[in-house]
């Protein structure tokens, strides 16, 4: 019997990150200017070239190991080395250990050991440079220097300073060498150490990379390893450890599910944007590494929703920060309108000089709606009435935007249309310029576009806000919102249903014609509950036909569509977060086996990726032909809502719904085949902490309550009334 070898799929790059500082290198720890690599802070690449040479040749990589999200360790040895007027140095006579820690700036430790029985005369050379490229330019491989660079080497301080300026946009990299002998030399962008090592001798240096943004220095937070200081004094690390300690813990005999869950918790903690902290337990995660290390409206709200079972602390930070950025006026260049929630904010050269509208940019049609959904979901899990009071006006402005700007023509549907000349053509979650196409595959759908999932989001948001306003004692808003939601539901099922395809239209185009492109978006409509139950079965069935189901998940676009490409961003790839919402929608309509099929497929995919970490997306190749998922080249890894999809899928299979205002937790598990047993501990619902054990045996799934710290909380089998579609 043949044994299938275990394969790990993933990027060839190494990535370390903490806060808004990111380091991306190749597998040997090098940085190449023409690659999507570098040391980044606030959308600027501060280090664009880096490598190490020994006596003029490259080291041989032995192993590279990510120790935590913010630190790497690499081991090297030498090839045969020629030495002037001496016998050559034999291969593997030397060992070099390279330790890197990201935090504020970058701390790098180089430890060189002579394992031969002879003294070795060595020239260790570091080549480095800074192009200060904007992250948009790096991703587009558009390496254009817009400003002026200069550099100064201070031999007394052992310090290289590289400056960049473009009008009033100024950045600086300070490279400082400490704890080493002899004195290094600098020439032509290279640092040279001339070292003589006795047999068994160890040589060490610390390299400190400090990045300066508008006069504010971001030095390395971590000390030299030789100082042997405890790391608990590093505030960022303390906050990260505190996050992981307070989350819901999961244990299961399936080590892969347990490991991917813990990895997702760790990754989201590492994405914390410390500049946006409101407090220890009130913070905002970045959207993803390396391209989206900033505040996003849609992404931060999505992961806050996905993680509600794990920790409710992810919601207040984004809700508060996005309220601060809520638009107050019409601004066509930034696609802003009063009440709208932003899409993303950028801090690089292009944004600073207003070459792009991301200051912030508001070109998203769903963030304003999702804001209300997350506000409601947070209230359902915590019963925190005070947050409804604090954000009441923000919520009312969101509702006003939905009715007056989201509905551009007054027909009751949500439409988007770009006004900014440099904004996004598509402004739903599928915001790639070529994501929303007619069935012929050649034409972009004409603006304004009303995608199907936007209608579902509004339906859900208005029902939720009716409930929220009732909790605030408002006697006027709830009836109006419920009436609007029902009217939208009726109109949606009339205009979006495609009788011939027995599926929902992807969208209505600018002429209000239904677009019959088969895509994953209707799965989100199941999640919102807007679909008539008799149509939901057909939608569920269609998602699993061969052209939509890859075996690793539901594709973003049908493989039968002329524009299908499994390696395109949103034209045939598989997105974990997309599948998480589809699975939740299937479960909501009672298709639990189908929901579990998605959960198992995504778990299998995660098991194949490096560190059991889901990327932002992966290719849509059929599993029948490819026994392992295929990495998408430019995927963010980690990405917040990809990590959050693990939580969302687990919540779906466990059937967890909280109603903390009425002191209820509803539990309705249907475990997939691979999860025969699972225990959740430290689950927070209102003021209670709950532990639950789930088990599948004799063909049925059940649960038992191991602990509940609040006797007032009632834990009931089944689903709440408002979870039922149409209720």
> Which of 229, 256, 272 is where one domain is finished?
229
User: Do 130 and 272 lie in a common domain?
Assistant: no
pLDDT at 232: 44
Give whole-number Cα distances, 133 to 42, 147, 246, in Å.
Answer: 11, 10, 38
Of 641, 538, 542, 525, residue with least CA distance to 588: 525
In a domain, 7, yes or no: no
pLDDT at 180: 85
Residue 92 lies in a domain: yes
Q: CA-CA distance, 15 to 165, in Å (whole number)?
A: 27
Answer yes or no: do 72 and 140 share one domain: yes
Whether 597 and 527 share a structural domain: yes
Q: Is there a domain that residue 8 lies in?
A: no
CA 561, 562, 566, 569 dihedral sign is negative
- 116 touches 110 (CB < 8 A): no
Give how many domains the chain has, as a whole number: 3
Percent of the chain as helix, strand, coil, to the nearest 5: 30, 30, 40
What does the alpha-carbon distance between residue 56 and residue 172 come to, in Å, rounded to a whole number? 29
**Is the bond preceding 290 in cis, omega lying within 30 degrees of 0?**
yes
pLDDT at position 83: 73
Evaluate whether residue 604 is within a structural domain. yes
Q: Are residues 223 and 249 in the same domain?
A: no
Q: If you ran DSSP here, which 8-state letter would residue 389 be given?
A: H
Specify the CATH number for the domain of residue 176: 2.70.98.40
Which of 205, 229, 253 is the last residue before a domain boundary?
229
Q: How far apart are CA 319 and CA 724, in angstroms?
A: 27
Is the domain of 225 the same as that of 257?
A: no
For residues 406 and 685, give the distance between their C-alpha atoms in angstroms, rounded to a whole number: 34
**Model pLDDT for residues 514-560, shown as the tens digit of each residue:** 999 999 999 999 999 999 999 999 999 999 999 999 999 999 999 99
666 and 648 part of one domain: no
Q: Low-confidence residues of the chain, pLDDT below 70?
A: 1-8, 84-86, 225-233, 726-727
Q: How many whole angstroms separate alpha carbon 510 and alpha carbon 518?
A: 18
Residues 79 and 154 in one domain: yes
Omega cis (within 30) before 650: no
299 in a structural domain: yes
d(CA 660, CA 687): 9
C-beta separation of 38 from 138 below 8 A: yes
User: Which pLDDT value is given to residue 231?
Assistant: 47
Q: Which domain holds residue 243?
A: 238-661
Q: Domain check: are 648 and 677 in the same one? A: no
* Strand pairing report for 714-717 and 700-708: unpaired
- C-beta of residue 540 within 8 angstroms of C-beta of residue 532: no
Task: Please name the residue that has the structure tokens 């895509």.
Answer: 519
Do 491 and 600 sit in the same domain of this protein?
A: yes
Domain boundary among 199, 229, 259: 229
Give the tokens for residue 709. Answer: 């710290």
pLDDT of residue 230: 47
Please report, to the nearest 10 degrees, the dihedral formed by the alpha carbons of residues 66, 234, 131, 296 taken in order.
80
Q: Are residues 159 and 276 in the same domain?
A: no
Distance CA(712)–CA(413), nearest Å, equals 42
Whether residues 593 and 707 share a domain: the answer is no
Residue 306 included in any domain: yes
CATH of the domain at 534: 1.50.10.10
DSSP 337: -
Whether 2 is covered by a domain: the verdict is: no
641 and 678 part of one domain:
no
User: For 564-574, what is each residue's pLDDT tens digit?
Assistant: 999 999 999 99
Pinpoint the alpha helices (H) of 233-359. Answer: 235-246, 255-270, 297-306, 316-325, 349-352
The pLDDT, as a whole number, for residue 626 is 83
The CB-side HSE value for 163 (13 A sphere, CA atoms) comes to 10
Is 673 a domain residue? yes
Quote the CA–CA distance of 318 and 311 in Å, as a whole number. Answer: 14
């Amino acid at each position: 019997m043949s044994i299938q070898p275990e394969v790990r799929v993933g990027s060839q790059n190494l990535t370390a990150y903490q806060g808004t500082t990111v380091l991306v290198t190749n597998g040997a720890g090098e940085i190449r200017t023409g690659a999507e690599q570098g040391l980044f802070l606030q959308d600027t690449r501060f280090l664009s070239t880096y490598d190490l040479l020994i006596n003029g040749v490259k080291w041989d990589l032995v192993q590279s190991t990510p120790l935590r999200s913010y630190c790497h360790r690499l081991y090297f040895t030498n090839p045969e080395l020629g030495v002037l007027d001496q016998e050559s140095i034999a291969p593997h006579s030397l060992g070099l250990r390279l330790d890197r820690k990201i935090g504020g700036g970058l701390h790098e430790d180089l430890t060189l050991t002579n394992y031969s029985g002879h003294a070795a005369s060595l020239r260790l050379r570091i080549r480095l440079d800074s192009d200060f490229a904007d992250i948009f330019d790096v991703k587009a491989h558009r390496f254009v220097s817009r400003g002026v660079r200069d550099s100064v080497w201070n031999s007394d301080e052992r310090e290289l300073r590289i400056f960049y300026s473009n009008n009033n946009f100024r950045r600086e990299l300070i490279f400082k060498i400490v704890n080493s002998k002899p004195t290094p030399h600098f020439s032509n962008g290279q640092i040279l150490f001339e070292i003589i090592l006795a047999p068994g001798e160890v040589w060490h240096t610390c390299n400190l990379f400090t990045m300066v943004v508008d006069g504010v220095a971001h030095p390395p937070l971590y000390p030299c390893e030789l100082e042997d200081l405890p790391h608990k004094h590093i505030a960022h690390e303390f906050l990260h450890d505190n996050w992981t300690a307070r989350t819901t813990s999961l244990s299961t005999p399936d080590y892969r599910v347990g490991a991917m869950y813990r990895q997702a918790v760790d990754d989201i903690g590492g994405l914390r944007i410390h500049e946006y902290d409101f407090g220890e337990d009130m913070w905002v995660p970045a959207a993803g590494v390396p391209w989206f290390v900033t505040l996003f409206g849609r992404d931060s709200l999505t992961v806050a929703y996905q993680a509600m079972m794990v920790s409710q602390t992810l919601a207040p930070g984004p809700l508060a920060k996005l309220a601060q950025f809520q638009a107050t006026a019409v601004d066509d260049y930034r696609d802003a309108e009063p009440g709208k929630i932003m899409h993303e904010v950028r801090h690089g050269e292009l944004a600073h000089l207003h070459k792009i509208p991301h200051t912030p940019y508001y070109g998203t049609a769903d963030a304003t709606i999702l804001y209300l959904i997350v506000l409601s979901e947070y209230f359902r899990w915590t019963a925190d009435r005070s947050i409804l009071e604090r954000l009441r006006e923000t919520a009312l402005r969101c509702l006003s935007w939905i009715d007056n700007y989201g509905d551009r023509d007054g027909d009751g549907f949500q439409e988007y249309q770009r006004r900014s000349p440099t904004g996004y053509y598509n402004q739903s979650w599928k915001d790639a310029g070529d994501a929303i196409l007619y069935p012929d595959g050649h034409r972009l759908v004409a603006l304004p576009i009303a995608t199907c999932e936007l209608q579902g989001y509004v339906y859900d948001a208005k029902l939720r806000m009716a409930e929220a306003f009732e909790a605030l004692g408002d006697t006027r808003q709830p009836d109006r919102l419920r009436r609007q939601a029902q009217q939208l539901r009726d109109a949606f099922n009339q205009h979006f249903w495609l009788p011939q395809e027995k599926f929902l239209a992807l969208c209505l185009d600018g002429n209000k014609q239904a677009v019959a492109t088969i895509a994953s978006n209707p799965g989100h409509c199941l999640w919102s509950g807007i679909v008539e139950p008799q149509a939901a079965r057909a939608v569920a069935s269609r998602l699993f036909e061969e052209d939509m189901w890859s075996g690793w998940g539901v594709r973003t676009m049908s493989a039968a569509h002329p524009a299908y490409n499994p390696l395109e961003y949103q034209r045939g790839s598989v997105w974990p977060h997309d599948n998480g919402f589809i699975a939740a929608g299937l479960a909501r309509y009672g298709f639990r086996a189908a929901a579990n099929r998605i959960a198992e497929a995504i778990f299998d995919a995660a098991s194949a990726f490096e560190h059991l970490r889901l990327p932002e997306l992966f290719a849509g190749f059929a599993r029948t032909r490819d026994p392992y998922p295929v990495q998408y080249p430019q995927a963010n890894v980690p990405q917040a809502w990809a990590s959050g999809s693990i939580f969302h899928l687990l919540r779906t299979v466990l059937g967890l719904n909280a109603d903390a205002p009425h002191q209820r937790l509803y539990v309705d598990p249907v475990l997939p085949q691979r999860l025969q047993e699972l225990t959740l501990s430290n689950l927070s619902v209102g003021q209670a902490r709950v532990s639950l054990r789930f088990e599948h045996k004799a063909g049925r799934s059940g649960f038992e309550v191991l602990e509940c710290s609040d006797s007032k909380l009632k834990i009931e089998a089944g689903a709440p009334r408002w979870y039922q579609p149409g209720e």
